[in-house]
Amino acid sequence: MKVIILEEGADLDALSCAYGVLLLYQDAYLLKPSLLSRRASEVFKRFKERFRILEELPQEFDLVLVDAHHVEEYKLPGVKEIYIFDHHPKAPKGFKGKVDEVGSATTLVVEELQRLNVDISPEDATLLALGIYEDTGSLTYEGTTERDALALAWLLKKGANLRTIREFLRESLSKEEIDFLSKSLVALEKLFIDGSKVVVFVLRSEEYNPDFLQVAYRLEDVKDADAFFVIVSVGSKTYLFGRGLKGRFDTSKILEAFGGGGHSFASAVKLENVSAERLKTLLVQLLKGENPAIRVRDVMNYPPFALREDMTVEEALISLAERNFAGAPVLDQEGRLVGVVYKKVLLKVAKLFPSKQVKDFMQTQFHTLSPEDFVWDAEAILSTYGEKLIPVVEDQKLVGVITRLDLMQTLIKQTEPLKPSHRKVQLPKEVEELARVVGKICQELGFKGYLVGGVVRDILMGRRIWDLDFVVEGDGIKVAERFAQHYRVNVHPFPEFGTAHLKVGDFKIEFATTRRETYPHPGAYPVVEPASLKEDLFRRDFTINAMAISVMEEDFGTLIDYFGGLRDLKDKLIRILHPLSFVEDPVRILRALRFAGRFDFKLSKSTEKAMLNALSMHLLKQASRGRLLKELTLAFREEKLLDILKLYRQYKVLEELIDGFQWSQDLELKLEKLKEVVSWHKIEFPDKKLEYGWLYLVILLEKVKGEEFLRDMSAPAWVRELYRTYKEQAKEVIRKLHQAKKPSEVYLTLKGFSEPFYLLLAIEESLRPKIVLYMEKLSKLKVDVSRFSGLKGKELGKAIENEKLRLMDETFTLT
């Protein structure tokens, strides 16, 4: 009995060749193959019943190897003779079978079948032809010989079915697969590790697609790999799959680092709170044998510094100050962890109770971590509960401390540049001119300069540009000064921030020095230090705002996109750069909704989750009110204000910002109506430059005591006046307007109020005709004064007014 054993991951040529051997020898069997290449496995599935299969090796047999690379591995007990059918130059010789240098191993068996005049069916011919087609690239690969062509010719004569062959050999992916990939493939990296080729893919999709693994298998890059990993980010979850292809690479070992497991050839793990790009960075570092920080133990401060619960407030403060710590875990006499205490709290009570003890002011409700937890679990705790410090506990003992700063530093290390982008961005002409000048100046000074932030986003979106932000790796102010000289304009430097402002034509230009910002506490103004471009971008709010364009001569216009901003622009997503973003700066909550409204973008799932966390922590209440309201003012200037307000409603942000504020159906309706009024007003009175946003705010504040809020918002005087009038008089005016039967009554009711007030009144639809009549006609009515030439002063005024009233009642009618 002859037994064919296929190598693990055997390809289609090997399978076809094996089939030929079955045709050649009636006593031959195929040992059930364990793992075939994708194509071989598809063909095997389809033609399974044609193969004589053996589940287990018999006691004694002749071994047949086809297209095999490692004969020595098969010197098994019970093997009597060895047959080899192989076409590789290095194939072992001196065995039975047939070894020759041709394009495909199958050719060799086909020649034997031909020689022995074996009668084969069209299906047999098809199955055999597949091997030759595959291994010779349809007779086009180097190494193809005339003999392969002749073997193929014979198979065609025997009725090989071309249609079936085409179906299996389809080289390319289907259109759906290509669409899916082009939408979701974020990165693809090929690595060579100890002679193995490993491919890492990153896919991103807001919806789960069950086919992504299948698609990965079919990619050209995977076909000759020893293993591949697919990282898929779906919403806020990230999946990591590993597949070994030729039995030479154990993927489960790698996945264990992330808490996953499985077979040596197939393993998977599902993670929360960690982005796909970051996981890729970590995976690649692991594959390269580096030791990236994955678990809490890799980043925690050790040994931990702790305070004792019976220390006085004063002692504790000194202890913290010596080390410049913002807080510490607290231990009791037995060394058990009993609380966490913050300097901020102690400072507040220090004056009043200097000799009270730490335990009186410590937090006894707090989270702990184990050293085996993941770094991103720590981030999730910090961003969900707002803690600044987490004790790390093992066997109920304090073994370390993790702080927000540790996590931020880890995060930035785990943010890797996307592969250098060769994408060049075409700048608008006027911008390009200015940018080239900046580039030249940077060159002269030995700095590097970039356009950054909103302007890059707007250029990519093809929007109009007004503000140009440049950052300089070097000294932004110096560049600004030379730039100002060049254009003969004034420059306003702010040395403490490393920035300078100036204007050229209509462009407002800011120069900054690349910097890193750390926030002393949530929402505070940040502290600034110099840093690299990457760090400068990392401190920004959203991926779409965190791209740069080089303005240096050598790579002018090259897009620098570390965080996938371009892709998010295409997908219309607002995405924070890291999970701690909103905690770091709660103002970003408002910014996220402003951009979402302005561009009609959505929040990415993980961003939405982080935002909901931040809101439930009431971070908006803790943040710097000045900065929040300044941001809010910007929102009220937006064209799409109403959409932004809808988002505010959805996420309940105004409730956090305005005391006593509540949304209602009625309020939302009023705002919609106000929008109609505003659109009308813009068309009818295009010259009146009104800041309409304030009108919306007045309506929003109608039911609360809003005077103080308006003051905090630095609302202009006319807005505060309008608010007062609206609250005090609108009801009465509306009542009178309803009752007015004649144009003159309308006129008398409305006379003397301001235009914005009329717009607010016009929210009520039934009043609109009267208000429109007043604004467009009645208020502009002129009378011929020559008729009253005998009158003077008050009397003249009265006469004119009476004439007006008469005239308007005569000329106009109320509908």
What are the residues binding Mg ion (CB under 5 A)? 454, 467
Q: Is residue 391 within 8 Å of 373, Cβ to Cβ? A: no
Q: Exactly one of 97, 454, 693, 743 binds ligand ATP (CB under 6 A); which one?
A: 454
Please identify the residue of the shown chain whose CB is closest to the bound Mg ion. Answer: 454
For the bound state, the minimum distance from the C-beta of residue 545 to Mg ion, rounded and expressed in Å, comes to: 9
Distance CA 391, CA 397 (A): 10
How many residues bind to ligand ATP according to rule CB under 6 A? 12
For the bound state, the minimum distance from the C-beta of residue 564 to ligand ATP, rounded and expressed in Å, comes to: 15
Nearest partner of 97 among 153, 155, 20, 36, judged by Cα: 20
Binding to ligand ATP in span 589-628, by CB under 6 A: 591
CA triple 646-708-614, angle to 5 deg: 45
588 binds, among Mg ion, ligand ATP, none (CB under 5 to 8 A by kind): ligand ATP
Count of helices and strands (H, E) across the chain: 36, 28
- If the CB atoms of residues 436 and 627 are measured against ligand ATP, the closer one turns out to be 627
DSSP letters along 653-693, please? -HHHHSTT----HHHHHHHHHHHHHHHHHHHH-TT----TH
Query: Judged by CB under 6 A, which stretch of 219-227, 236-244, 482-490, 585-593 contacts ligand ATP?
Result: 585-593
2 binds, among Mg ion, ligand ATP, none (CB under 5 to 8 A by kind): none
For the bound state, the minimum distance from the C-beta of residue 515 to ligand ATP, rounded and expressed in Å, comes to: 11
Query: Judged by CB under 6 A, which stretch of 50-58, 580-588, 689-697, 710-718 contacts ligand ATP?
Result: 580-588
For the bound state, the minimum distance from the C-beta of residue 685 to Mg ion, rounded and expressed in Å, comes to: 29
493, two tokens = 């430097």
SS3 149: helix
For the bound state, the minimum distance from the C-beta of residue 454 to Mg ion, rounded and expressed in Å, comes to: 4
For the bound state, the minimum distance from the C-beta of residue 347 to Mg ion, rounded and expressed in Å, comes to: 37
Q: Exactly one of 226, 585, 608, 656 binds ligand ATP (CB under 6 A); which one?
A: 585
Asked whether position 476 contacts ligand ATP by CB under 6 A, the answer is no
- If the CB atoms of residues 12 and 451 are measured against Mg ion, the closer one turns out to be 451
Name residues whose C-beta falls within 8 Å of residue 733's C-beta, 6 or more positions apart in sequence: 749, 750, 753, 761
For the bound state, the minimum distance from the C-beta of residue 469 to Mg ion, rounded and expressed in Å, comes to: 7
Asked whether position 575 contacts ligand ATP by CB under 6 A, the answer is no
Rounded to the nearest angstrom, the gap between the alpha carbon of residue 782 and the centroid of all alpha carbons in its chain is 61
Strands of the 28-31 sheet, one edge to the other: 53-54, 28-31, 2-5, 61-66, 79-86, 96-99
Please identify the residue of the shown chain whose CB is closest to the bound ligand ATP. Answer: 454
Name residues whose C-beta falls within 8 Å of residue 710's C-beta, 6 or more positions apart in sequence: 697, 701, 719, 720, 723
Give the helix/strand (H/E) hosting 234.
Answer: strand 227-234
Question: Would strands 507-513 and 467-473 be described as parallel, antiparallel, or unpaired?
Answer: parallel
Q: Is residue 109 within 8 Å of 20, Cβ to Cβ? A: yes
Rounded to the nearest angstrom, the gap between the alpha carbon of residue 287 and the centroid of all alpha carbons in its chain is 25
SS3 152: helix
For the bound state, the minimum distance from the C-beta of residue 456 to ligand ATP, rounded and expressed in Å, comes to: 8
277 binds, among Mg ion, ligand ATP, none (CB under 5 to 8 A by kind): none
Distance CA 205, CA 707 (A): 46
Name residues whose C-beta falls within 8 Å of residue 354's C-beta, 6 or more positions apart in sequence: 312, 313, 314
**CA of 572: how far to CAs of 582, 602, 693, in Å?**
20, 6, 25
- If the CB atoms of residues 591 and 670 are measured against Mg ion, the closer one turns out to be 591
| SS3 assignment for 580-633 | CHHHHCCHHHHHHHHHHHHHCCEECHHHHHHHHHHHHCCHHHHCCHHHHHHHHH
- If the CB atoms of residues 509 and 719 are measured against Mg ion, the closer one turns out to be 509
406 binds, among Mg ion, ligand ATP, none (CB under 5 to 8 A by kind): none
- If the CB atoms of residues 130 and 551 are measured against ligand ATP, the closer one turns out to be 551
Q: Exactly one of 125, 369, 551, 587 binds ligand ATP (CB under 6 A); which one?
A: 587
Asked whether position 588 contacts ligand ATP by CB under 6 A, the answer is yes
For the bound state, the minimum distance from the C-beta of residue 559 to ligand ATP, rounded and expressed in Å, comes to: 15
Asked whether position 134 contacts ligand ATP by CB under 6 A, the answer is no
Distance CA 718, CA 615 (A): 33
- If the CB atoms of residues 243 and 588 are measured against ligand ATP, the closer one turns out to be 588
Query: Judged by CB under 6 A, which stretch of 243-251, 350-358, 581-589, 746-754 contacts ligand ATP?
Result: 581-589
Instruction: Answer left, alpha or beta for residue 618, where phi above 0 means left and psi between -120 and 50 means alpha.
Output: left
587 binds, among ligand ATP, Mg ion, none (CB under 5 to 8 A by kind): ligand ATP
Binding to ligand ATP in span 524-553, by CB under 6 A: 540-541, 545-546
Binding residues for ligand ATP, per CB under 6 A? Answer: 453-454, 467, 469, 540-541, 545-546, 585, 587-588, 591
